[in-house]
Amino acid sequence: MLSVLTTLLTAAALLQGPAVKLQSAAAPTAKPAPAAPIPWSATRRLTIADFQGHPGPSDRLASSTASDLKSNAACRDFVFSATVTATFDPNTSWFQNPKLASEALLRHEQLHFDITEAYARLMRQKLAAFAAKADCNKLQPAFNNVTKAVYAAWDNEQNRYDQETGHGLNAVRQAAWEKQTQLKLEQLKMFAVQ
């Protein structure tokens, strides 16, 4: 009897045309594709809509920025080259309540991303000096030594920024960090990606 019912349902669906799909009630809904990382740009500032992630149940902060500093190196025909990028991950960055997010909180999170760019420029500077003496036969250990120090300093700077500004609640310290970071970006502007 079940096979006759299935045959009748299939025939009815075919008679209705190709737009009809048979789905079970328990069919999973498709998840939207993850958002692509956003590269740092002097002209494109973060918006509240960029923060598409969700805090975990134990997250007590008002927001979180997931920025990344990526570096790669290669030797082709014994010529060293490297790339360094600063990106923002919309999928893991979040506001506890986006509707209540203030402009000051968004500025605080933007500065986390700006600090990442400052360290991307610093790493490009160090890798430019490294390129002059790079030994392609021993590339990986030497490259790791150069980048390891920059990654550690970047992590320390991000933590110090949150501590000194009270996660952006201390307006005076926040303004000082904004000024200091803009100065760093300006000093390293020759190492910005064009």
Q: 32-78: per-residue pLDDT in tens?
A: 789 999 999 999 999 999 999 999 999 999 999 999 999 998 888 88
Determine phi and psi for 79, rounding to 5 degrees: -115, 120
Answer whether residue 127 is part of any domain. yes
Inside any domain, residue 58: yes
Q: Would you say residue 27 lies in a domain?
A: no
**Stated pTM of the model:** 0.82
How many Å apart are CA 40 and CA 114, to the nearest integer?
8
Q: Can you list the residues of the chain whose pLDDT is less than 70?
A: 1-28
- Which residue segment(s) compose the domain that 151 sits in? 34-191
CA distance 115 to 6: 61
121 near 76, Cβ under 8 Å?
no
82 inside domain: yes
The answer to whether residue 7 sits within a structural domain is: no
55 within some domain:
yes
Q: Count up the domains in the chain and report the number.
A: 1
The answer to whether position 23 is within a domain reads no
| pLDDT for res 108 | 98
Query: What is the predicted pLDDT for the residue at 26?
Result: 53
